[in-house]
A = this chain, B = another copy of it.
Amino acid sequence: MENIPVRFESIFSADCIIFGFDEGELKILLIERNEEPFKEWFALPGNVVYQSESIDEAAERILYELTGLKGIYMEQFYTFGEVNRHPKGRVITVAYFAMIRLNGQKELKPITNYAKKAVWVSVKDLPKLAFDHSEIFKKGFEKIKNKISYQPIAFELLPEKFTLTQLQNLYEVILNKKLDKRNFRKKMLAYDILKELDEKQKGVSYRAAKLYKFDKRKYSKYFHNELSFGKE
């Protein structure tokens, strides 16, 4: 790579799978395209990587433009470079996933001009997506399914204070299987990465559960130990 003998006209871009957890469902943020090709199709949010920014910065910018959020956990997971993945030219795209806290406030005003609107769609009933985005989604979803089993990324999707039942539900939704309540709690608490708060859930019409926080400090301390959640 390191010589620049020939310059081709190629574009690179970053696409983002933005995960959110809401009403017990795992959702992603899709845009409805305003332009050909694939006009009126749903697509993953994405954009060209500018000359002056790294790919990571491009991904952050895309997320920011769409959601107004910064400092979100994002991770690059794969680069898609088939010759004909874009009908209008050679486009290589680097795919990221992000996880954001919805907290109920799902209103989003997309700034990008090529999108009609942005919507949260449950991963259980995604439509066919533009370009090869269905394939990109599939690979990214596999990645996070795998990753939550050994890294504490699930917390990024929950409110800062959450109950163990909420956490378990999230694992169950992502892994698409039931987990045993007692074993889940035993294991999760044994990792000692949660901080039990003096607070309880509010506004529920039954016994309120204790709230917990993810304790980053404790986690970093044992960072080298891989975790293993949801492996029953």
- Interface size class of chain A, counting residues whose CB lies under 8 Å from the partner chain: 35 or more
Nearest B-chain residue to A84, judged by Cβ: B54
Q: Could you show 25 A-B contacts with beta carbons less than 8 Å apart?
A: A1-B11, A1-B12, A1-B13, A2-B33, A2-B37, A2-B86, A2-B130, A3-B35, A4-B48, A4-B89, A5-B48, A7-B9, A7-B11, A8-B50, A8-B51, A10-B49, A12-B12, A12-B92, A51-B83, A52-B83, A54-B83, A56-B81, A76-B79, A79-B79, A92-B94
Q: Is A11 in contact with B8, judged by CB distance below 8 angstroms?
A: yes
Q: Does A91 contact B (CB under 8 A)?
A: yes
Residues of B within 8 A of A35 (CB): 3
Closest 4 CB pairs of A and B: A1-B13, A55-B81, A1-B46, A79-B79
CA distance A148 to B12 in the complex (A): 31
Give a binary string over A84-103; 1 marks a CB under 8 Å from any B CB, 0 the rest: 00101111111000000000
Q: Is A10 in contact with B51, judged by CB distance below 8 angstroms?
A: yes
CA distance A52 to B37 in the complex (A): 21
CA distance A103 to B190 in the complex (A): 47
Closest approach, in angstroms, between the C-beta of A97 and any C-beta of chain B? 14
Copies in the complex: 2
CA distance A1 to B4 in the complex (A): 24
Give a binary string over A1-28; 1 marks a CB under 8 Å from any B CB, 0 the rest: 1111111111111110000000000000
Q: Does A192 contact B (CB under 8 A)?
A: no
Residues of B within 8 A of A131 (CB): 2
Q: Is A1 in contact with B48, judged by CB distance below 8 angstroms?
A: yes
Residues of B within 8 A of A37 (CB): 2
Q: Does A78 contact B (CB under 8 A)?
A: yes
Residues of B within 8 A of A199 (CB): none
Residues of B within 8 A of A92 (CB): 12, 49, 55, 92, 94
Q: Does A114 contact B (CB under 8 A)?
A: yes
